Amino acid sequence: MRILIVEDEPGVASFVARGLTEAGHQPEIATTGDGGLALALDKEYDTLVLDLILPGMTGLEVCRRYREAKGFDIPIIMLTALGSTEDIVAGLKVGADDYLVKPFKFKELLARIEALSRGRQQQATPEKLTSADLEVDLYRRMVSRAGQSIRLTAREYDLLVYLLKNKGRVVSREAILAAVWEMDWDVETNVVDVYINYLRNKVDKPFDQKLIKTMIGMGYVLTEEAIA
């Protein structure tokens, strides 16, 4: 895969690039936000690894502008030395798919990159998942409801597909985290709840019938049935 690393710390950038090269990928490095955005818009990449704090344009601004210009065609992983929930959520809100708090192990970064890539790979044959007037075309990775196209980030899409594949079944936060994020449950992580809220705002809030429901103390379920 072609991977753009936007990181101003030379040690971190070379460490990540070297590891990606050894893993068979083709990394490129940009050391400023402006330079990273220019490269990302000019060339084709499979993944963007983006530091939060950069000279000039911040990582948040790079992510936001990239999403506005090119949509959600590739996954973006944020690297941050700021581990607060507010900082992480800020990155997710502008279109990042995942995040890692520095310092991190390269194996974890590589696992996140490969997991996001697998989640975005198209199915071999056309296939659709539906619930009420919600439809997901797995082959084209397109989501619509009541005929209206809905744009999701890579992580939101993977979460919606997981819920649809388990339609009518209550799935715990632990199960969602393991299946969608491919990581063990951390009691301090509220990323599942954050992404459920993102999904609801896009696929439920604009419509009369709500499909994603909270089962208190158990998890979530996507169902057309009313829950008492």
Here the CATH number for the domain that contains residue 133 is 1.10.10.10
d(CA 152, CA 145): 12
| CATH number (domain holding residue 81) | 3.40.50.2300
Residues 93 and 146 in one domain: no
Q: Which distant-in-sequence residues (6+ apart) come within 8 Å of 93 by Cβ?
A: none
Task: Say yes or no: 148 and 114 in one domain.
Answer: no
Report how far residue 143's alpha carbon sits from residue 137's, in angstroms, rounded to the nearest whole number.
6
Which CA distances in Å does 100 have to 40, 97, 199?
Answer: 20, 11, 22
Within 75-156, strands assigned E span 76-80, 98-101, 128-131, 134-137, 142-145, 148-150
Residues 182 and 86 in one domain: no
Query: Is 83 a domain residue?
Result: yes
In this structure, are 23 and 113 located in the same domain? yes
Verify that 10 and 108 share a domain, yes or no: yes
Q: What is the pLDDT of residue 123?
A: 39
Same domain, 133 and 207: yes
Q: Which domain holds residue 82?
A: 2-120
* 58: in domain: yes
Say whether both 116 and 133 belong to one domain: no
Q: Do 222 and 131 touch, CB atoms closer than 8 A?
A: yes
Q: Do 132 and 95 lie in a common domain?
A: no
- As beta bridge partners, residue 77 has 49, 98
Q: How far is CA 195 from CA 6, 24, 29, in A?
A: 25, 31, 29
Do 21 and 97 share a domain, yes or no? yes
222 pairs with which residues across the strands?
212
Q: Which residues of the chain have pLDDT under 70?
A: 83-84, 119-126, 182-188, 228
Domain end, chosen from 98, 120, 142, is at 120
228 lies in some domain: no
Q: Cβ distance 53 to 59 under 8 Å?
A: yes
| One domain, residues 78 and 151 | no
Say if residue 169 is in the same domain as residue 111: no
- Answer whether residue 227 is part of any domain: no
pLDDT of 173 reads 87
- Gap between the Cα atoms of 195 and 201, Å rounded: 10
How many domains is the chain built from?
2
CA distance 103 to 12: 9
Do 185 and 84 share a structural domain? Answer: no
